[in-house]
Amino acid sequence: MAATETTREQTAPGPSVTRFDVTSEPRGVVLMLHGGKQASTQPVDHRSASWRRFAAMQRAITPRAHAAGVSTWLVRYSVRGWNHGAPVDDARWAIDEVRRELGDVPVVLLGHSMGGRTAVHVADAPAVVGVVAVAPWWSPEDPVRSLAGRQVHAAHGRTDKITSARMTRAYLERAAPLATSASFTDMGRVGHYLLRRVDAWNTFAIDTALDVLG
């Protein structure tokens, strides 16, 4: 399982993707969007805990993804902060990169925390068939129209002090009339950083992503 990295060509630091591709033509891609901070212009490097957390999940779920003929790509944003939507352009670049490299394959967006927020802002891309979110950072201001005709599924721990399981449920209720399917999974008394019940988080992520891909 060898990774390759694609970086946007530009003079300033930009986003990149770490790719674990199947050897044959993929039947889909799980595009992973890591977490971050509310405000920060610090570049995301390999020391970023948010990026490393999702890199570990990528390594864990890729064998099952590959067995199903699905590639996994992990986006690394330009900067660590949300900054009024900074990761959105990076995610759109990555979705365009999937199409450029692989053609018209379906994409499931898998996001943690800020990555879940980013996912619902770019879910209207034609290639996207659904969003899978773990401990997402959703607010009443985040869009739901982007999920029209798509699936959205989220898992959240009850003792998360960083983002809110209640807000996740409220967002899903708003999205449900537009989405083809919406669901909430209670992960029990666990916090935000995916450090407890790691296998359960990984299983939810890959099981749900593969279900969305059919």
Tens-place pLDDT, residues 13-23? 799 999 999 99
**DSSP E strands, the chain:** 4-7, 16-20, 28-33, 70-76, 107-112, 128-134, 151-156, 181-186
pTM (predicted TM-score)? 0.94
Residue 8's pLDDT is 54
Q: What angle do CA 187, 32, 111 make, to 5 degrees?
A: 40
Digit-coded pLDDT (tens) for 72-122? 999 999 999 999 999 999 999 999 999 999 999 999 999 999 999 999 999
Look at domain 16-213 and name its CATH class: alpha beta
The 3-state DSSP composition of the chain as helix, strand, coil percent (nearest 5) reads 35, 25, 40
Cβ proximity of 130 and 212 under 8 Å: yes
Instruction: Report strand pairing: 28-33 vs 4-7.
Output: unpaired
**182-191 mean pLDDT:** 98
